[in-house]
Amino acid sequence: MFLLPSVLLADEVFLKGAGTISGRIVEQTADTIRVDVGSGTIGVKMSHVDRIVKARSPLDDYDDRAKKLGPKDAEGWKALGRWALNQGLPAQSRDAYKKVLTIAPDDREANGALGLVLLNGRWVTKDESYRAQGYVKYQGEWMTPDQAQINQASDAANQARRNAEQRASDAEAAAVAAEARAREAEQQALEAQNSQDNSAPSYWGGWGYGPTYWPSTTTPNRGAVNRPAQLPAGRRR
């Protein structure tokens, strides 16, 4: 047990399906349960909970250690802040270091742990320090105004290049689509012309007078015999 991480010594909320929440249960009702995990509080519906195993947690140890420290014990609060950070309790660590600053406002360790930096004899935030030194923030990073201007111009040029490439790509795609539509229209026109040619009658010049059509619109009487025309009555010989 001494070899196990101390985080295992905590209230365990086993969820249905998979997953657990480790910390200290601070509230439990028929509908929900809330667990302090050190960096915040997580609430879960009881309908999602499979079972709960309660045990002592690092939060309990933090509270016990804090109760033993006096209001002016800067070294004790610093030690507690370090311990809490190692135990994965960042919120409690910050609370301990804030206690230190109420006792010793210029303590370097406590100010550094809270993200403060020394500037002209004052402890300020990093953002305040950068602004005081004339830096500007561009794309989430602090830099000199000249560097920010260079980066901005470079980003604008890159964006213009990407826009031009996109327009060229769109134009090429449109040209390909137009060519495909033209080929399709040409194919449809050719098929329509072929269909019209196949339905029209064919003819050949040849025997007899005028063109002869095929198929013929009339069927010749094969049994008919060509007879000479008879002369009118009274003129026969």
Looking at the structure, tell me whether residues 13 and 64 fall in a common domain.
no
d(CA 13, CA 54): 8
Looking at the structure, tell me whether residues 50 and 89 fall in a common domain.
no
CATH number for 89: 1.25.40.10
Report residue 92 as tokens: 């409690």
pLDDT of amino acid 152: 87
CATH number for 49: 2.30.30.100
How does pLDDT run along the chain (237 residues), one tens digit per residue? Answer: 233 343 445 888 999 987 899 888 888 898 999 998 877 889 999 999 998 988 888 888 999 999 999 999 999 999 999 999 998 889 999 999 999 999 999 999 999 999 999 999 999 999 999 999 899 999 999 999 999 989 989 999 999 999 999 999 999 999 999 999 999 999 999 888 888 877 666 555 555 555 555 555 555 555 555 555 555 555 554
pLDDT of amino acid 85: 93
Please state, as a whole number, how many other Cβ atoms lie within 10 Å of the Cβ of residue 32: 14
d(CA 124, CA 117): 6
* Distance from the Cα of residue 125 to its chain's centroid: 33
pTM above 0.85, yes or no: no
Print the domain residue range for 78: 59-133
d(CA 157, CA 164): 10
Of 220, 219, 216, nearest to 204 by C-alpha is 216
d(CA 127, CA 123): 12
pLDDT of amino acid 3: 34
- 201: CB partners within 8 A, 6+ apart: 213, 214, 215
- 36: CB partners within 8 A, 6+ apart: 23, 24, 25, 26, 59
d(CA 160, CA 157): 5
Looking at the structure, tell me whether residues 69 and 110 fall in a common domain.
yes
Looking at the structure, tell me whether residues 33 and 83 fall in a common domain.
no
pLDDT of amino acid 227: 56
pLDDT of amino acid 220: 53
Of 88, 80, 43, 82, nearest to 62 by C-alpha is 80
- The residue among 115, 133, 151 that closes a domain is 133
Looking at the structure, tell me whether residues 114 and 64 fall in a common domain.
yes
Dihedral sign of CA atoms 134, 138, 140, 144 in order: negative
Whether 177 is in a domain gets the answer: no
Looking at the structure, tell me whether residues 86 and 117 fall in a common domain.
yes
Q: How many residues does the chain have?
A: 237
Give the number of domains in the chain. Answer: 2
